[in-house]
Structure 1
Amino acid sequence: MSTVLSGSAVAFVCLLTLVLGVFGLRLSRRTSDFYVAGRTVSPARNAAAIGGEYLSAASFLGVAGLIYDQGVDALWYPVGYTAGYVVLLVLVAAPLRRSGAYTLPDFAEARLESRFVRHLCSVLVVLIGWLYLVPQFQGAGFTLRMVTGAPPWLGAVVVLVVVVLSVAAGGMRSITLVQAVQYWVKLTALAVPAGVILGVWWATSGPMPAVTDSWTTPLAGTGGEGQAHSLYRTFSLIVALALGTTGLPHVVVRYYTNRDGASARQTTVRVLALLAIFYVFTVVYGVLGRAYLPVLEGGMRADAVVLRLPTEVLAGLPADVLVAALAGGAFAAFISTSSGLAVAVTGVLNQDVVRPLLGHLSGGDHSEVTGFRMAAVVAVVVPFGVSRFFPEVPLAAFVTLAFVIAASTFFPLLALGVWWPRLTVQGAAAGLVTGAVLATGALVVTVMVGEPGGWPGALLAHPAAWTVSLAALTSVGVSLATPHGIPRGTARTLARLHTPEAITDAR
């Protein structure tokens, strides 16, 4: 019965996604519909859509697993994820919308008037998007295997097919509707079982969480983080998550779908509320997991706590129903996040790879929509293939890698590009390359060689604090040394980014 219910819940989420995608196909006609949903998305719907795509496998399963494993130190993950939108609200939300761009490379080219910087941004968008997509496929396979016994590849294939079909059908307009609905599906699927489990624990005077002193002590460096330099590790983690959010391509592209800059700010405020509500329930699973599952047997990953907890608290049909709800919610997380990432990567691949190629082959006579759909297939199939060979790691830890690279590259570019008129083409390029090389190099060394002890281990395992700083300083230093590289239209571009629409409309 459990397998049937869980399979049915997953099938329902997939069918709902496809139905909404087909509905979006009827509305998508213009290029802007596919890239930015016609720039007509209301703040309420856009906030729900951002919540739908941002709350990925790392949030639905991984955060609870980290809290279970590491204790109070893991609470910095939801804090960092949410704080990123405060940074977005203050620094770049409205200017990004006023830029009129479709993608991050579009913004970079418009601000710096450089095709070279655009190409650098395109490579980074694809890299970050694919790095973020890999754990979505792995999480889908892990979840479906756990609740139904299916082979690991099946869950990943289901997400692959659903995402390709929904993205290719109507692009951003379809995905906006899908993600807005799936936020509420995920919240309900997580909140209802959490409420039932908490109620049963309270009514039956259930067991207390079996934890050590370090589990309840802030900055104790518990779990896989090691004991050394926990204060630095925590600070660097917050830097990666808060500043990395600003540079995530699938998050940034959402701000291009707002009607104007004021709507972008309203969207961000709503997102903060939606994320805060969601993350409250992940704490319930992490803490009560320690009460009912003090030890994970058979090498089970901490990510499994959310799906295992109902069967430890209840029995029979009630437990099966709760597990099915959680399985459906998890797949909503995989699909909605993968869809947002696919749209962001697809837009870049179509503009910088597929469209030029089709134009060359056909003498310039090609369909924008056809190119977008071809790029959508490539954007999803490549990370799916990588996920089949890449070793499985904790979901939240894997996603953090994408945040580190985004923080080290796009955050300095966006912050300086929006607020500093002396940024030059050379400075922007040097900052992007420095951040990408340092962040990727540190993470590769940690993964391939292992984490050394002492300060070297802390600095390599959590590099954001120094990679972001060095990338920003490099951009500033090189810009000051190359004043001839300031784009001619800088004053005009910055005026457009910072002038409210009410003023421009009144002219």
Structure 2
Amino acid sequence: MNPAVGYVSLILVSLSTVLIGIYGLRISRTTGDFYVASRTVRPWWNASAIGGEYLSAASFLGVAGLILISGVDALWFPIGYTAGYLMLLLFVAAPLRRSGAYTIPDFAEARLDSVMVRRVTSLLVIAVGWLYIVPQLHGAALTVRITTGLPSWVGSVAVVVVVCLSVVTGGMRSITFVQAFQYWLKLTALAVPIVFILLQLGSTGGPITNGGAVFSADLNVTDDASLYRNISLVIALLFGTLGLPHVLVRFYTNPDGASARRTTLIVLGLLSVFYLFPTLYGILGRIHTPELAASGSADATVLLLPSRIFDGSAGDLLTALVTAGAFAAFLSTSSGLVVSLAGVVSQDLFHGSVKGFRWAAVISAVIPLGFALLTDTLALAGSVSMVFAFTASTICPLLVLGIWWRGLTDIGAVAGMLAGAVLCGGSILLSAALGPSAPSSREWLEQPALWTVPSAFAVMIVVSRLTAGRKPAGTSRILARLHTPEQP
């Protein structure tokens, strides 16, 4: 692969991101612009931006890699990533927008009239954001190393620099433009090469995928997933989407609750179209790049497949396009995470000022960079699924019960979130510490959502009932605001 291809792609994506961010600076003047784009983002634009930030390294590279090494079992990832937005549509999108809050901690404090709940929620949002940023930086490191030959750390540092410039210059309004552009860039970067690849393979006259043999278990390098693992994974992906701070903050930018619902419907369509393509890359990768599974480089399938099918300049051009899309994935998701974290940190530490937002953005990006440089990359989609399990066990119960159950109390909310954090976080850490030495219990620890999510809900409900006297006096008024449609 010609290193110049990688350099040109990365430079062009980075420059376009910074330039769009600078354009956003021209129209980002108020605090509302920086935090929620003054709540004026229309459904199609917002849906594209959500698609841009949600389709992360795990989606762009990781899904194809997991299909390469796991076959049919990995198809639950694109299904779960998309179906999670149906849960958002049903339970969260419109009420959360009607709350009028800037951040999830703002919602928690307003709903339960408790500074304690706000602080616990803030800590969890920050933890989730940092855990989610690290895989994006690992993906950037992998992409830069493969496409340019530069050291891995260059990719991680480049993402943080570009993200900081974009977020600091224009805040949420600027990032909305950036992420909407990057969704369509990512879709194009996957769709165009796969169309040419399929045409090239079809021109040979033979079967493209050898029928069902492409999903033969003989090609898998991982054990077949059990029923428990699949159910737990789906629960993590469905409920975890409800707790992702960088996704939820985008609903605050809609003009009203009805717009938030329309945005979610459009997102479902955009994601359904997008995930067709990494799935195809994974299927074709099982035929044309099977050695990547054994070498531990499955996440590079999307980057390397075009050059395996095409020689010369055609392969270079298609690789350049895929590389640009991959880097856009890291930038857009990291930007969304940094914006959501900056909103929380600036509100709690810098009194919510624009200057404080900018300082908070830098802090929110630099700290996970340190973690990324000190750790090795995991399978991207697998590592992100752990974050989904954690959010499903912590932030999700707070939002669902806070929106739909008037009996929730501050003590109950804190107890449930901490129980979910300890159970889920402890399970993941224990699994990593034990390694393969405890195979019988490993899947219960690696994929804990099936028991940690119900446990968090149960603790939150039981403790709230035991502390019913602490139910906020304004609960009925707040719930009426959440569930009453706005007047046209």
Structure 1 length as normaliser, TM-score? 0.93
| Paired amino acid for 1:318 | A
1:242-253 equivalence runs, <5 A: 242-253=238-249
- Segment of structure 1 superposing worse, 75-84 or 390-399: 390-399
| Paired amino acid for 2:235 | V
Give the alignment partner of residue 273 of structure 1, picking from 269, 272, 295: 269
- Indicate the residue corresponding to 1:180 in structure 2: 180
Secondary structure of 1:488's aligned partner: coil
- Indicate the residue corresponding to 2:477 in structure 1: 492
Provide the rounded CA distance (Å) in 2 between the counterparts of 1:286 and 1:446.
Answer: 27
- Indicate the residue corresponding to 2:295 in structure 1: 299
1:378-389 equivalence runs, <5 A: 378-389=363-374
Alpha-carbon shift at residue 383 of structure 1 (Å): 0.3
Alpha-carbon shift at residue 210 of structure 1 (Å): 8.0
Does the aligned pair in 2 maintain the 1:140–1:155 contact within 8 Å?
A: yes
Provide the rounded CA distance (Å) in 1 between the counterparts of 2:293 and 2:230.
Answer: 29
Alpha-carbon shift at residue 353 of structure 1 (Å): 2.1
Structure 1: tracts of 5 or more residues without a match:
356-366
| Paired amino acid for 1:413 | L
Alpha-carbon shift at residue 395 of structure 1 (Å): 0.7
- Indicate the residue corresponding to 1:122 in structure 2: 122
Provide the rounded CA distance (Å) in 2 between the counterparts of 1:196 and 1:497.
Answer: 48
User: 1:348-378 CA deviation, whole Å, 9 max, x = no partner?
Assistant: 11111233xxxxxxxxxxx811111111110
Alpha-carbon shift at residue 472 of structure 1 (Å): 0.1
* C-alpha distance 238-204 of structure 1, shift in aligned 2 (>3 A): same
Provide the rounded CA distance (Å) in 1 between the counterparts of 2:359 and 2:480.
Answer: 37
Give the alignment partner of residue 420 of structure 1, picking from 395, 405, 416: 405
Alpha-carbon shift at residue 335 of structure 1 (Å): 0.2
Q: Is 1:196 matched up with 2:196?
A: yes
Provide the rounded CA distance (Å) in 2 between the counterparts of 1:302 and 1:211.
Answer: 22
1:69-148 equivalence runs, <5 A: 69-148=69-148
Provide the rounded CA distance (Å) in 1 between the counterparts of 2:142 and 2:432.
Answer: 21
- Indicate the residue corresponding to 2:326 in structure 1: 330
User: 1:82-106 CA deviation, whole Å, 9 max, x = no partner?
Assistant: 1110000000110000000000000
Provide the rounded CA distance (Å) in 2 between the counterparts of 1:206 and 1:179.
Answer: 40
Percentage of identical aligned residues: 53
Does the aligned pair in 2 maintain the 1:45–1:180 contact within 8 Å?
A: yes
Provide the rounded CA distance (Å) in 2 between the counterparts of 1:401 and 1:309.
Answer: 27
Provide the rounded CA distance (Å) in 2 between the counterparts of 1:168 and 1:297.
Answer: 39
Provide the rounded CA distance (Å) in 1 between the counterparts of 2:183 and 2:293.
Answer: 32
Secondary structure of 2:48's aligned partner: helix
Q: Is 1:287 matched up with 2:283?
A: yes
Provide the rounded CA distance (Å) in 1 between the counterparts of 2:159 and 2:144.
Answer: 11
* Structure 1 ranges of 4+ moved more than 6 A: 210-214
Does the aligned pair in 1 maintain the 2:221–2:293 contact within 8 Å?
A: no
* C-alpha distance 337-172 of structure 1, shift in aligned 2 (>3 A): same
- Indicate the residue corresponding to 1:449 in structure 2: 434
Q: Is 1:371 matched up with 2:371?
A: no
Provide the rounded CA distance (Å) in 2 between the counterparts of 1:394 and 1:56.
Answer: 13
Q: Is 1:315 matched up with 2:300?
A: no
Provide the rounded CA distance (Å) in 1 between the counterparts of 2:17 and 2:269.
Answer: 24
Provide the rounded CA distance (Å) in 1 between the counterparts of 2:469 and 2:214.
Answer: 55
Alpha-carbon shift at residue 205 of structure 1 (Å): 3.5
Does the aligned pair in 2 maintain the 1:98–1:260 contact within 8 Å?
A: yes
- Indicate the residue corresponding to 1:162 in structure 2: 162
Does the aligned pair in 2 maintain the 1:160–1:381 contact within 8 Å?
A: yes
Secondary structure of 1:296's aligned partner: helix
Provide the rounded CA distance (Å) in 1 between the counterparts of 2:446 and 2:168.
Answer: 37
Provide the rounded CA distance (Å) in 2 between the counterparts of 1:214 and 1:5.
Answer: 30
| Paired amino acid for 1:418 | I
Q: Is 1:25 matched up with 2:10?
A: no
Alpha-carbon shift at residue 209 of structure 1 (Å): 4.9
Provide the rounded CA distance (Å) in 1 between the counterparts of 2:395 and 2:438.
Answer: 30
Alpha-carbon shift at residue 72 of structure 1 (Å): 1.1
- Indicate the residue corresponding to 1:439 in structure 2: 424
Does the aligned pair in 1 maintain the 2:141–2:153 contact within 8 Å?
A: yes
| Aligned-residue RMSD, C-alpha | 1.9
| Paired amino acid for 1:104 | I
Alpha-carbon shift at residue 294 of structure 1 (Å): 2.5
Q: Is 1:467 matched up with 2:452?
A: yes
Q: Is 1:397 matched up with 2:382?
A: yes
* C-alpha distance 56-297 of structure 1, shift in aligned 2 (>3 A): closer
User: 1:285-341 CA deviation, whole Å, 9 max, x = no partner?
Assistant: 111111112322882410011111111111000000011100000000000000000
Structure 2 length as normaliser, TM-score? 0.97
User: 1:2-57 CA deviation, whole Å, 9 max, x = no partner?
Assistant: 32122111111111101110010011111111110110000000000000000001
| Paired amino acid for 2:443 | A
| Paired amino acid for 1:313 | I
Q: Is 1:410 matched up with 2:410?
A: no
Structure 2: tracts of 5 or more residues without a match:
none
* C-alpha distance 480-430 of structure 1, shift in aligned 2 (>3 A): same
Provide the rounded CA distance (Å) in 1 between the counterparts of 2:437 and 2:253.
Answer: 44
